[in-house]
Amino acid sequence: MHIVFAASECVPFAKTGGLADVVGALPPELVKLGHQVSVYIPLYRTVRPFLPEQLTFAVRSITIPFEYYNRFAGIVDGGLRDGVQYYFVDCPELFDRDGFYGPRSGAGDYGDNAERFGLFCRAVLEASKQLGVPDIFHVHDWQAAMLPVYLHSVYYFDPALRTAGTVLTIHNAGYQGWFPPSTTPQLLLPWDMFTVDKVEQNDTFNFLKGGLVYSDYLTTVSPTYAKEIQTGEFGAGLDGLLRKRHWDLRGILNGVDYAHWNPAHDPKLAAHYSPENLAGKAECRRDLLHAFGLEGVQDDTAIIGIVSRFATQKGFDLVSQIADQMTDRNLAVVALGSGEPYYENFFRSWAQRKPVQVAVQVRYDDALAHKVEAGADMFLMPSRYEPCGLNQIYSLKYGTVPVVRATGGLEDTIEEWNADNRTGTGFKFSGYHAGDLLWAIDRALWVFANDKPGWQTLMRNGMAKDYAWAHPAREYVEVYEEVLRRRG
């Protein structure tokens, strides 16, 4: 099969979250299975350092019409990487900016995002007509969700595209792409699409909803999240539509790239270690404490690591409620991340009040993220919801015991520790209450302090888990084959 990925992010070119990791890691695995894969993303400013100064164009110019004007886009040939062909949609006035969806200053989204990602979707379709129409367009999140909408409207009678199937992956249903009703004529769509059974929601034009209505098949990034988004609590207003299409919805757990996340050969670590020889983890712990300036932490003190976007979705409202109770215990906290100003300030003030136990760095640093995964004893992810989550999977491989809320991919990847039969990989809590989180932390602390053999078993249980991309890739191939079978 030939599969075209259309997405707004892809490592190493552009990343704000797990979407980029999936779009970077899944295509090479599909190539290993014998398929042809092309990936399209916008040519953001961050992409330029990965390309030659003199760009090579696969398609020099594509005209993209809007209601009162035309835009012009080029398709830059990014070459083959691990067998995957990369293309970048070049429209400097829309994509050559300092942020992907809004200014890096955090001043909200760009006002022309509907135009930007509408153009991106049409450019992918037009480019495919010249560079190769795929069997499947695999589109990701709201930024690419207009592609199947266009296929069922503007391009419905285009003979070149009639045979292509579409799969939409929801990485986070909380982000949908809401725009004013005037987006309908702006994107040259008929007004009869702006209805409650198509793209309209609460008098807004909803990109993600349009993709959910018009894609042949829907996937999301864990089996539990696929069930959760069919409920009012997690569906963000789309639960009714998702229940209606539940036969076309499948949760496929994300994989991770162990070439970059493995303590046995991670170049970012102070020492390497494995399940057979855990000695290097102690050196990684010392290196982590040095990096965060917590030199006085004793060997019997548990280090809790956090690497996250600082946001309410990630459960930090719960952490803020029990912060002082946590530091009454024999533990230290190292936190790395950035996000909502309220939680950035919470972590800063916590570290200022408890400088011997709490340290924070408000930024993202990949090398430091690896040090946290390797040097911490526990990893905290108390998310309100978590479609998949990758850090808990990294933590397993690094022998860093996860303490998580039982939601989405956290529920699917972490098994509660059972002291009687020595099974399990972490500690979970279900209710979204600060007391439940504290109880999970206390259970972990008790095993850490009082059952050293059990703790080593916990570590090794996690390190033995395999969440590589090979299995999810085969599941995606099954989805593609089902789409083609249905289309005849």
Residue 275, token pair as written in the block: 């399940």
Spatial separation of the C-alpha atoms in residues 252 and 388, rounded to whole Å? 9
Task: Provide DSSP, 19-53.
Answer: HHHHHHHHHHHHHHTT-EEEEEEE--GGGGGGS-S
Tell me the percentage of the chain whose pLDDT exceeds 90: 95
Give per-residue pLDDT as tens, 308-362: 999 999 999 999 999 999 999 999 999 999 989 999 999 999 999 999 999 999 9
Q: Which residue's structure tokens are 């990701």?
A: 140
Residue 311, token pair as written in the block: 């946001």
Query: Prior bond to 355 cis, omega within 30?
Result: no
- Count of Cβ atoms closer than 10 Å to residue 97 Cβ: 18
Q: Which residue's structure tokens are 């999977």?
A: 393
Give per-residue pLDDT as tens, 51-95: 999 999 999 999 999 999 999 999 999 999 999 999 999 999 999
Q: Are 41 and 14 in contact (CB under 8 A)?
A: yes
pLDDT band at 34 (very low <50, low <70, confident <90, very high): very high
pLDDT at 160: 96
Mean pLDDT, residues 419-435 taken together: 97
Q: Are 393 and 253 in contact (CB under 8 A)?
A: no
Residue 457 buriedness (CB in 10 A; 0-12 / 13-18 / 19+):
middle
| Exposure of 60 in the CB half-sphere (CA atoms within 13 A) | 0
Strand partners, 427: 403
Q: Which residue's structure tokens are 């690094």?
A: 398
Query: Edge-to-edge strand order for the sheet containing 378-381?
Result: 358-362, 331-339, 302-310, 378-381, 401-405, 427-429
Domains of the chain with CATH codes: 2-255+469-487 (3.40.50.2000), 279-463 (3.40.50.2000)
Spatial separation of the C-alpha atoms in residues 253 and 265, rounded to whole Å? 25
Give per-residue pLDDT as tens, 254-313: 999 899 899 999 999 999 999 999 999 999 999 999 999 998 999 999 999 999 999 999
pLDDT at 16: 85
Spatial separation of the C-alpha atoms in residues 210 and 369, rounded to whole Å? 36
Q: Which residue has the higher pLDDT, 423 or 108?
A: 423
Residue 105 has pLDDT above 80, yes or no: no
Spatial separation of the C-alpha atoms in residues 31 and 43, rounded to whole Å? 23
Q: Are 254 and 388 in contact (CB under 8 A)?
A: yes
Q: Coil, helix or strand for 399?
A: coil
Give per-residue pLDDT as tens, 382-408: 999 999 999 999 999 999 999 999 999
Q: Compute the mean pLDDT over every residue in the chain, rounded to the nearest whole number.
A: 96
Return the amino acid letter for 224.
T
pLDDT band at 106 (very low <50, low <70, confident <90, very high): low
Q: Are 123 and 187 in contact (CB under 8 A)?
A: no
Return the amino acid letter for 126.
E
